[in-house]
Structure 1
Amino acid sequence: MKFAIAPMMDWTDRHCRFLHRQLTRRALLYTEMVVADAVIQGARERLLGFDACEHPVALQLGGSEPAKLAEAARIGEAFGYDEINLNVGCPSDRVQSGTFGACLMKTPALVADGVAAMKSAVKIPVTVKCRIGVDDQDPEVALDVLSDAVFAAGADALWVHARKAWLEGLSPKENRDIPPLDYDRVYRLKAKNQNRFIGINGGIQTLDEAERHLQSTDGAMFGRAAYHTPAILAEVDSRIYGEAVEAVDFAAVIDAMAVYAARHIEQGGRLVHVTRHMVGLFHGLPGARRYRQILSTDATRPGAGPDVMHAAFAAVELPTVAAAA
């Protein structure tokens, strides 16, 4: 049984993951998708660097050429990642133009070749994240064909976003909302693959929902819920993993983020690179609106420092239990 936070372009960068790790020790974190060519040729520390506290953390790769995927996987393993994941679910135009992402649902043999190449290159787990199908594919057929191919190639897990992707006619944002969710299709896949890891993703908003999905699958993955309302992650370790943990001390979280942000600024970064991921942290609490206002304005100013985080936090009225933790 596993709980994960989905790879999300422009969102799950190292700063976001550092925040999420302050809230849950056990959840598996994923990077944004990084194109294999960029890993091989680009600025590796900028693209792949992460804080040691992020473990367990998985590197998601985009690509379709087995040799390049294998090389990028080797580089990721050397950087210390705990898992390499292949993106077979992203429907953006940029991804399609590179012949990878969701369009690979149409070429399961090529996906299998990529998995096999990565498995031969690294010792850490190699996994795949996909959709239930694309365009006019029959999900009942397409998902089985892909899963059979990747597991035969040695994949250690398959995470399934329980929607189709439409490669033409819908934007990436629309592809996250408009195609209907079909959780039962993923459940049926798991029922046919009792000895293989099948995780589910797509539209999961609460830990109650995650727990229900875990009755029929091996893993549940939060996407936007984790980003927009990250405090929801504070109960993951106790509810999903059954650990006896104290309530999260949000003052300590802010302190940790302030120290982290100061280090980032010393290295040439800006405060907003960190705080942009923290805007939803106190969603629904008294003072949350003022907290958001301070982060959204003061943190963007030239020379802004970690004191802005403490000023924003001072506006929040925490529940008694959380404040006393």
Structure 2
Amino acid sequence: MTPTPAARFSVAPMMDWTDRHCRVFHRLLTRRATLYTEMVTAPAVIHGDRDRLLGFAPEEHPVVLQLGGSDPAELARAAAIAADYGYDGIDLNCGCPSDRVQSGRFGACLMAEPDLVAACVAAMRAAVALPISVKCRIGIDDADPREQLPRLVEAVVAAGVATVTIHARKAWLSGLSPKENRSVPPLDYDLVFEIKRRWPDLPITINGGIRDLDGAEALLAPRGSVRLDGVMLGRAAYETPEILAGVDRRIYGEAVADVDSFAVMERLEPYCAALIADGGRLSHVTRHILGLFAGRPGARAFRRILTEGAIVPGAGLEVLRAATAAVRRPAREVEDSASGALASDAAA
């Protein structure tokens, strides 16, 4: 299943978070959203354990690999290797502000070198038939975003980029930590809409500060004659994954019910069983699902049982079932309480 050049809804690439286990879990909540891998550097793909770095389950489609790098030849080679694994697209990271990324001359610092980014895009396009996208910030450091971002967009459009995802904040390469860079620089959604106004034929996805589907729908709504092509959620989708349960209905307009989280827990069992049988640990999956029942009665017990139980040697499906039961029990208690109240009212 190949995604459109700009997915209407996607889950952002997040280091240490969106690994293959996380993506399988997210796919149980939404069939339609495009999922992204963690960033993988081009040299790692070329010289490292490819199956570990690039392997993914068939049910993850549509899934896009995010590459980090700044050498066009290396990126082209890495893209060709990734294409053989069956990815639906390749994304170039031009937005990560971490020191480790900067030291490798990739990530957000590439916004200062639009011609190099364009050369990277062109090289990957020549190497593979997959759509090549770029994820960037609106600018870096003291540069004026209304000058820097258009220069980058103009360059990658000329190179044939399929879509651009814009995190609508600046990145400060010094003075702010990567965590602070996700929230401290102010959002500028207006600039993203202005870019779409200037390049109406370029598919543009907006990212940054979107906390729920209400916010996603608001950004997908037209502003005058301008309409963005997609929204990308990061931390909100990870920390409160039940958001994803309504994506197919609300964002894609499908006549379906929102996915039931209890059903997700049941459907996750075969995957966890196969992982454990293959020598993996239950905690590799459970660390990603701690927020599934966030805000519900029993959610704290759910998290505690998973956190404590999944790290015990030999932990298996009984931990998933015990955690789920901790949420079902309060739900039944609420229903019983409500039924009792109704019975009392009727008797009165």
TM-score bracket relative to the smaller structure: over 0.9
Give the match for residue 272 of structure 1: 283
Give the match for residue 102 of structure 2: 96
* Counterpart among 167, 170, 177 of residue 171 in structure 1: 177
Give the match for residue 47 of structure 1: 53
Which range moved further: 143-152 or 262-271?
Answer: 262-271
The answer to whether the 8 Å contact 2:272/2:282 transfers is yes
- Structure 1 runs of 4+ aligned residues shifted over 4 Å read none
CA distance in 2 between counterparts of 1:292 and 1:160 reads 33
Give the match for residue 128 of structure 1: 134
Q: CA deviation at 1:249?
A: 3.0
Give the match for residue 122 of structure 2: 116
CA distance in 1 between counterparts of 2:313 and 2:116 reads 48
The answer to whether the 8 Å contact 2:94/2:136 transfers is yes
Q: CA deviation at 1:245?
A: 1.1
Which range moved further: 87-96 or 298-307?
Answer: 298-307
Give the match for residue 257 of structure 1: 268
* Counterpart among 255, 259, 262 of residue 244 in structure 1: 255
The answer to whether the 8 Å contact 1:134/1:167 transfers is yes
Deviations for 1:183-214, whole angstroms, at most 9, x for unmatched residues?
A: 11101111111111011000100111101111
Q: Is 2:152 the counterpart of 1:146?
A: yes
Deviations for 1:64-117, whole angstroms, at most 9, x for unmatched residues?
A: 000000011111111000000000000001100000000000000000000000
CA distance in 2 between counterparts of 1:42 and 1:262 reads 28
Give the match for residue 341 of structure 2: none
Counterparts of 1:131-210 in structure 2, within 5 Å, are 131-210=137-216
| Paired amino acid for 2:194 | R
The answer to whether the 8 Å contact 1:258/1:307 transfers is no
| Paired amino acid for 1:277 | H
CA distance in 2 between counterparts of 1:207 and 1:124 reads 29
1:316 counterpart SS class: helix
Q: CA deviation at 1:301?
A: 1.1
Which range moved further: 275-284 or 215-224?
Answer: 215-224
The answer to whether the 8 Å contact 1:19/1:257 transfers is yes
CA distance in 1 between counterparts of 2:148 and 2:260 reads 46
Give the match for residue 297 of structure 2: 286
Query: Normalising by structure 1, what TM-score?
Result: 0.97
Q: CA deviation at 1:251?
A: 2.8
Q: Is 2:30 the counterpart of 1:19?
A: no
Give the match for residue 68 of structure 2: 62
Query: Normalising by structure 2, what TM-score?
Result: 0.90
Q: Which is greater in Rg? A: 2
Q: Is 2:111 the counterpart of 1:105?
A: yes
The answer to whether the 8 Å contact 1:259/1:306 transfers is no
Aligned residue-pair number: 321
Identity %: 62
Give the match for residue 35 of structure 1: 41
Counterparts of 1:214-225 in structure 2, within 5 Å, are 214-215=220-221, 216-225=227-236
Gaps spanning 5+ residues in structure 1: where?
none
1:260 counterpart SS class: helix
* Counterpart among 68, 73, 91 of residue 79 in structure 2: 73
Give the match for residue 240 of structure 2: 229
Q: CA deviation at 1:319?
A: 6.6
2:39 counterpart SS class: strand
2:76 counterpart SS class: helix
The answer to whether the 8 Å contact 1:272/1:299 transfers is yes
Deviations for 1:195-253, whole angstroms, at most 9, x for unmatched residues?
A: 11011000100111101111231110000000000011000000000001123233321
1:164 counterpart SS class: strand
1:159 counterpart SS class: strand
Gaps spanning 5+ residues in structure 2: where?
1-6, 222-226, 336-348
Q: Supply the RMSD in Å over aligned alpha carbons.
A: 1.3
Q: CA deviation at 1:307?
A: 1.5
CA distance in 2 between counterparts of 1:206 and 1:246 reads 18
2:74 counterpart SS class: helix
